Amino acid sequence: MVIWLIERSDRSAQAQCLQWFQARLASKQGRPDPVRWRILPASRLWAECVQLVKNKEYPSQDYPALIEYPLIWQESLESLGLLARLGDVENEHQRWRDLQGRVYDSNFSLEAIQSYGGALSFPWLVGLTTLFYRKDLLRAMEKTPEDLEDYASWMAMIKNTSALGRYSGLEAGINFSLALWWISSFNGSFLDHLNLMPAFHQAEAVKSLEAMLGALVPSERNPAHLTQKSFALGLGPKRLNRFPEKSFCLLSTSMPTALRQNDPRVGLMLTPKVTGSRVVIAEEHALGVVQGGLNRSGEALLDLLENWLGEPGIWMEFAGRLGMLPACTTLWEPFFDSLPDPMIKEVYYAAVSHIRWIPKSRFLAPTIQIFEDSLTRLYLRALREASVDSVRIAAALSKAAAEYRLMVALYGDQQKKPLDHQAAGPKEAVR
């Protein structure tokens, strides 16, 4: 049985988590069906999902039974026709329904799942944008956490790399969730009011991405020989696990391992207010049963999920080891009680009241891919030149918008058809 999971920035912690889970399964089931985990970078996931649908000769031994994906992709994946539905289940129909009931009960992400076509999907993880910082470095700069709440002061500290010595000012993922935090904080929006077109042309989007890249690009010039390979290995999103050893602060939707291990150097707080009200982005993840893999692994997959999401303790531990919250809100109290720092609970509960939702679209998954590719290219260029150019940002976003329009023109009709015969439900998310 093959399962796809999204790659985490702390790959060592993820590998240890999977080893722990396999050991727990063995202790509960004796000799469980072997699981082959495929860890995919988020940037490759959409293209791989498209291949599952388009490639009729996809190797059966590599075909996944279950995939993890960002929940914001739900409508895109259902439009693609990739996910199975309860009606596709041939055996143990009631057990599947019972599992759905247990996972959906008090689920943070339930509305997003129920708003579409009834896929056999299980929301399982939630991350909220949070600012993590080094307490000792903050004291060394004679500052307090209150200074980090003010955007201008936060930016000034990030840029003051000379005071930080060998530490970088800020670590943040070059991805959709973190970019969305910047755009929303600058009062921009990712989609237009008709939920049809990415609002790449907005002045707020250009301004916010200029601020984001400016905060992440060191002021000193990088070596002229910087290449795509060196970027991928050392300067890209995978460097996030350098916090707290080599960074002053981290903006992330997942908790760093050091925080969960009660490292006294690490503090956390709500993200700074940029303009107006505070903004928090919820990054939700789901596990979806793949239609083509259901017949091959149906009962074994059901056994696995019952011992994964059907067991509160395992679900909670799995989430914590990945630095996320379990999507079941009734598990939040025991989850936070299991963590050593009581401030974690306080910050995360406060963050929920500041969540900014975005409208959904059937084209959201490929649109996010176009956007992230553009963002990565902008970041690499800014690193090479040690400068951020708003004109280049605007040009890159215009190109991304053109790619989006071409995609809709070429594939709009084909992607729309699968939804026409799905179970009734609003096509726009209620959130």
User: Is the distance from CB of 24 to CB of 57 less than 8 angstroms?
Assistant: no
Question: Are residue 132 and residue 220 in the same domain, yes or no?
Answer: yes
Last residue of a domain, which of 349, 368, 400? 349
CA gap 124, 325 in Å, rounded = 8
Predicted TM-score (pTM) above 0.85: yes
Rounded Cα distance between 281 and 61, Å, is: 37
pLDDT, position 218: 76
Query: Do both 133 and 101 map to the same domain?
Result: no
Does residue 362 surpass a pLDDT of 90? no
pLDDT band of residue 36 (cuts 50, 70, 90) is very high
Q: Which pLDDT score, from 0 to 100, does residue 403 have?
A: 84
Q: Is residue 416 part of a domain?
A: no
Question: 97 and 53, same structural domain?
Answer: yes
Let me know if residue 22 belongs to a domain. yes
Position 40 scores a pLDDT of 94
pLDDT at 340 over 50: yes
The answer, yes or no, to whether residue 235 has pLDDT greater than 80, is: no
Question: Given this model, what pLDDT does residue 146 score?
Answer: 94
Residue 60, in any domain of the structure = yes
pLDDT at 404: 81
- Mean pLDDT for 398-410 is 81
Query: 232 falls in which pLDDT band (50, 70, 90)?
Result: very low
pLDDT at position 32: 66
Q: Residue 197: what pLDDT?
A: 63
166 & 214 share domain = yes
Q: Is the pLDDT of residue 426 over 50?
A: no
What is the mean pLDDT of the segment spanning 213-218?
88
Looking at every residue in the chain, the average pLDDT score rounds to 85
Which of the pair, 278 or 293, is modelled with greater confidence?
A: 278
Residue 233 clears pLDDT 50, i.e. is over it? no
Confidence band of 234 (pLDDT split at 50, 70, 90): very low
pLDDT band at 297 (very low <50, low <70, confident <90, very high): confident
CATH code, domain carrying 188: 3.40.190.10
Query: pLDDT (tens digit, 9 = 90+) per residue, 378-393?
Result: 998 888 888 898 999 9
Q: What are the b/e assignments for 338-373, b being 16+ CB within 10 Å?
A: ebebeebeebbeebeebebebbbbbbbbbbbbbbbe
Place 223 in a pLDDT band, splitting at 50, 70 and 90: very low
Mean pLDDT, range 390-407, rounded to an integer: 85
Task: Yes or no: say if 99 and 306 are a contact pair by the CB < 8 Å rule.
Answer: yes
Do 315 and 368 fall within a single domain? Answer: no
Tell me how far the alpha carbon of residue 326 is from its chain's centroid: 14
- Residue 300 within any structural domain of the chain: yes
Give the residue from 161, 141, 160 showing the smallest Cα distance to 152: 160
Bigger pLDDT: 195 or 289?
Answer: 289
In a domain, 173, yes or no: yes
Domain count, the chain: 2
Mean local confidence (pLDDT), 382-411: 84
Q: Which two tokens stand for residue 310?
A: 């059907």
Q: What is the pLDDT of residue 211?
A: 94
Strands 266-269 and 168-172, by their bridges, are: unpaired
pLDDT of 27 > 50? The answer is yes
DSSP string, 308-340: TTSSHHHHHHHHHHTT-EESBGGGHHHHHHTSS
Q: Which is nearest to 369 in space by CA: 198, 251, 213, 192?
A: 198
Structure tokens given for 339 = 């963590």
Mean pLDDT value of segment 261-283: 94
Residue 321 has pLDDT above 50, yes or no: yes
pLDDT attached to residue 241: 61
The Cα 49–Cα 69 span in angstroms is 10
pLDDT greater than 50 at residue 202: yes
Neighbours of 118 (CB within 10 A): 16
Q: Is 178 helix (H, G, I), strand (E, B) or coil?
A: helix
pLDDT at 105: 94
Do 289 and 277 have their domain in common?
no
pLDDT at 30 over 70: no
pLDDT of residue 298: 79
Q: What average pLDDT does range 48-70 have in this prediction? A: 93
Bridge partner list, 70: 285
Per residue in 76-101, pLDDT tens?
Answer: 999 899 999 988 888 888 999 999 99
- Could you list the residue range(s) of the whole structural domain that residue 163 is in? 128-281+356-410
Q: Do 210 and 321 fall within a single domain?
A: no
pLDDT of residue 367: 86
Same domain? 237 vs 268: yes
pLDDT of 421 reads 26
188 φ, ψ (degrees, to nearest 5): -95, 175
Cα separation of 113 and 55, whole Å?
Answer: 27
